Amino acid sequence: MTLRAGIVGCGGISRSHATAYANLRDVDLVALCDIQPAALQTRADEYAVSNRYTDFREMFETEGLDVVSVCTHAPLHALITIAAAESGINVLSEKPLSTDLENADQMVTACADAGVRLAVSHQYRFTPLFCHAKAWIQAGRIGELRSIREVGKGREAGFELMEMGVHYFDEMDFFMDGIEWVHGQVTYHGHAVGVGDIMHSSELCKTDRRDNGMVAGDTMLIHLGGKRGASGVVELYRREPLHGWMMGPHILGSEGQLMIKPNPKTGIDEMWYCPFDVSFAAHTPQWERILLPQEDFTVDGQLWPDRHSIWSVRDMVNAIRENKQPELGGSKALTSLECVSAVYESHFTGARAYLPLEDRRHPLIKRLNSVPSSPAREEA
């Protein structure tokens, strides 16, 4: 059976989803939706999609879709996902799943109640190099897994947490077989973040237009505890210029290291291995590039060497075909966003925040709401 796919939101990442649907066998990209006619027309012309909508509800009611990719900014993911679930459509939501756990829980419940799948598009874990690294870890090729380090691209930390942070949390969840707790320290212009430093993402980060709701801090040091005892370290701080090639895990084991980083010139991931737990550039020429056969990067006859959305789109499509949950389906879709809330919760309490969090409210908005109004505010 050929699956009917649609996309809501025709901006940057939608191209990656559209290419994926267009290249997967037995999937037709039949409809697109955007409130901006120019964005809609550009993407629809590019993929020769004739069914074009500016209202996602109308698209859901009309098109008989099997799956929809939600590619708008995070604050709209819940509204669109719940509407899709009510129309019986499986949902692949872009990350972050939402801006807070209350909304994210509603997404999970709405999809479960409607009997449709919901997954969040963290594509890294499905790529051949990440899968290969995980197989090496499981096989003991780097001894006992000790830690994984990731660094942001250089945007303000509160913004970056929602963009790259969630990807890093997902990959750590993948490599560490689950995250037990999170400890976060957040600063803004050098001082510990307080309630007065909470702001909208557009105020914190002027260089990226995406709406990530309420955020805080320009610098974060995040420590994660894995369920099997390994640690994750995520460092997010402002840096000029932005370095996309910094992203990628550095994985340390008791008997070796692995690194997966995009080549700065090509942007294509490379996996490197070193047979020591500690290494120095001048003294460790044993860093060796691990090459995988091209077949590993081939999906339906096409090569996909980078962290393309094809990997998460394919997982959802396979789940529909095989009548099972996608890998990041159900409550698993929540983990990376749980970590975001846990960072702030930990920062404000000074203690580790254990997953899943009991309090599902947005950790920043609830603190803003608990500040007593000043007399001036009341008069206004």
Ligand X SMILES: NC(=O)c1ccc[n+]([C@@H]2O[C@H](COP(=O)([O-])OP(=O)(O)OC[C@H]3O[C@@H](n4cnc5c(N)ncnc54)[C@H](O)[C@@H]3O)[C@@H](O)[C@H]2O)c1
Tell me if residue 302 falls in helix, strand or coil.
Answer: strand
CB nearer to ligand X: pick between 2 and 36: 36
Q: How far is the CB of 161 from ligand X (least distance, A)?
A: 11
CB nearer to ligand X: pick between 124 and 273: 124
CB nearer to ligand X: pick between 33 and 230: 33
List Cβ neighbours of 133 (8 Å cut-off, separation of 6 or more).
175, 249, 251, 258, 260, 271
Q: Which range of residues in 8-16, 109-117, 199-207, 225-233 is near ligand X by CB under 6 A?
A: 8-16
By the 10 Å C-beta count (0-12 exposed, 13-18 middle, 19+ buried), 132 is classed as middle
Work out whether 95 is an interface residue with ligand X (CB under 6 A): yes
Q: Which range of residues in 29-37, 107-115, 139-147, 351-359 is near ligand X by CB under 6 A?
A: 29-37
Distance, CA of 187 to chain centre: 23
Work out whether 210 is an interface residue with ligand X (CB under 6 A): yes
Which has the closest alpha carbon to 244: 163, 336, 152, 165? 152
In this structure, what token pair is assigned to residue 143? Answer: 């001894």
Rule CB under 6 A: choose which of 2, 26, 36, 349 binds ligand X: 36
Tell me if residue 222 falls in helix, strand or coil.
Answer: strand
Give, as ranges, the residues between 38 and 77 that touch ligand X (CB under 6 A): 39, 56, 71-74, 76
Work out whether 98 is an interface residue with ligand X (CB under 6 A): no
Q: Is the peptide bond before 356 cis (omega within 30 degrees of 0)?
A: yes
Rule CB under 6 A: choose which of 100, 150, 163, 197 binds ligand X: 163
Rule CB under 6 A: choose which of 9, 154, 232, 305 binds ligand X: 9
By the 10 Å C-beta count (0-12 exposed, 13-18 middle, 19+ buried), 282 is classed as exposed
As a whole number of angstroms, the distance between CA 354 and CA 54 comes to 41
Q: How far is the CB of 167 from ligand X (least distance, A)?
A: 7
Q: Which residues bind ligand X (CB under 6 A)?
A: 8-14, 33-36, 39, 56, 71-74, 76, 94-95, 121, 123, 163, 210
